Amino acid sequence: MARILVTGSTDGLGRATAQTLLDDGHDVLVHARSPQRADAVADLVGRGAQLVVVDLSDRDAVVRAAHDLDDGEPVDAVVHNAGVVSGASLVPVNVVAPYLMTALLTAPTRHVYLSSGMHRGGRARLDGVDWDGRSTTNSYSDTKLFVTAMAREVAERRPAVRSNAVDPGWVATKMGGAGATDDFALGHRTQETLATDAGTTVSGAYWFHGEQQRPHDAVEDAGFRTALVDALERATGVALPSR
């Protein structure tokens, strides 16, 4: 059984992922952005899940949380599920936080990043990005393009790590809305498989409902991926180790 961190696990796909992994006997770390939001996973904590409380829009808090996690029992996999759909925190939550967790956690051999089909409408431009979140400089689609490209770059730099991006589809969550038409169960099954299945050895892929798909052309562009990680390193002062 694996020890797995699922960010953004108080509702929607994150909670479903955490609950399924817990049901399957894994050691699960659930995440809430505040003590108040932690009430939403009290039942999972009562069943043995460990609670991690950190506001992912607060870079210093993310760094502290990553160091605390790294000092504890090793985390085998991270499902980078947390995300926001609008506002100035888009880049910090959707891109910077998963970057920092990836760079600072030394143990995980599997990283699963939540992307979106909307990443194909993202702009492969890094000029003018406010990595600190003081202003809204980028769209949701931009951030999902960035994190999809980052997943691929992690795979390139860390051959021993399985790093993949997943489009969960348009499902009925707080973010997706009640009118979403895709299958909710299929929306979280791929993440669970990529985080736990020893037989899944693919890395650097973009997935939708258990099938690999071709992502935005920029994800295949090594120059763009390198520029993206270089920009994140400069912005955060944290390098992405290659190992």
Average pLDDT over residues 16-21: 98
Specify if 74 maps to a domain: yes
Q: Which residues are registered as beta bridge partners of 29?
A: 5, 50
Sign of CA dihedral 143, 149, 152, 154: negative
In the chain, the number of structural domains is: 1
Assigned domain for 242 exists: no
Q: What is the CATH number of the domain that holds 29?
A: 3.40.50.720
pLDDT digits (tens, 9 = 90+) for 193-236: 999 999 999 999 999 999 999 999 999 999 999 999 999 999 99
The answer to the question of residue 30 being in a domain is yes
Domain range for residue 227?
A: 3-236
Buried b or exposed e, range 66-105, using 16+ CB within 10 angstroms: beebeeeeebbbbbbbbbbeeebbbbbbbbbbbbbbbbbb
Identify the band that residue 50 occupies on the pLDDT scale cut at 50, 70 and 90: very high
Q: For residue 187, tell me if it sits in a domain.
A: yes
In-domain check, residue 79: yes
Residue 223: predicted pLDDT:
98
How far apart, in whole angstroms, are the C-alpha atoms of residue 218 and residue 225? 8
User: Is 75 contained in some domain?
Assistant: yes
pLDDT digits (tens, 9 = 90+) for 116-161: 999 999 999 999 999 999 999 999 999 999 999 999 999 999 999 9
In a domain, 53, yes or no: yes
This prediction's pTM: 0.96
Phi and psi at residue 25, to the nearest 5°: 95, 5
123 domain-assigned? yes
